[in-house]
Homo-oligomer: A and B are copies of this chain.
């Protein structure tokens, strides 16, 4: 693989699988490309979110808006520039606040294969 740069204009968003809220993902690099990690952008509508048990280690960087992260009965608010590390096996609830949110994510290994 070559060095590549991406912006959100490169993202083709799809609804995040197995749930019906307005949470969208757009893989830029994944199992089709030969790298060990999946890289992409996420988009959350106002007050939208999901709860999941992590099948992979997922690192989310908030780019716009704010999200609430709940795990182990603790809730933290994360705004632009904040990083969330969701280790494999942990359960987490992600919920955007009123303005929605845009995120970048990196997972190891590939989240779509691990589901």
A: residues with CB less than 8 A from B are 1-8, 28-29, 35-37, 39, 41, 57, 59, 61, 63-64, 69, 71-72, 76, 78, 80-87, 90, 92, 102, 104, 106, 108
Known: A2-B72, A3-B84, A6-B82. 12 other contacts (CB 8 A): A1-B87, A3-B90, A7-B78, A35-B85, A36-B57, A37-B106, A39-B83, A61-B61, A81-B102, A81-B104, A83-B104, A108-B108
Interface SS of chain A? strand
The quantity of this chain's copies bound in the complex is 2
Contact B82 A7 (CB under 8 A): yes
Could you say which residues of chain B place their CB within 8 Å of the CB of A108? 36-37, 108
Which residue of chain B has its CB nearest to the CB of A77?
Answer: B5
CA distance A108 to B58 in the complex (A): 12
Q: Contacts A28-B83, A108-B108: A3 and B39 contacting too (C-beta < 8 A)?
A: no
Contact A39 B2 (CB under 8 A): no
Contact A5 B76 (CB under 8 A): yes
| A87, chain B: closest CB distance, angstroms | 4
Report which of B1, B5, B84 forms a contact with A4, defined as CB distance below 8 A. B84
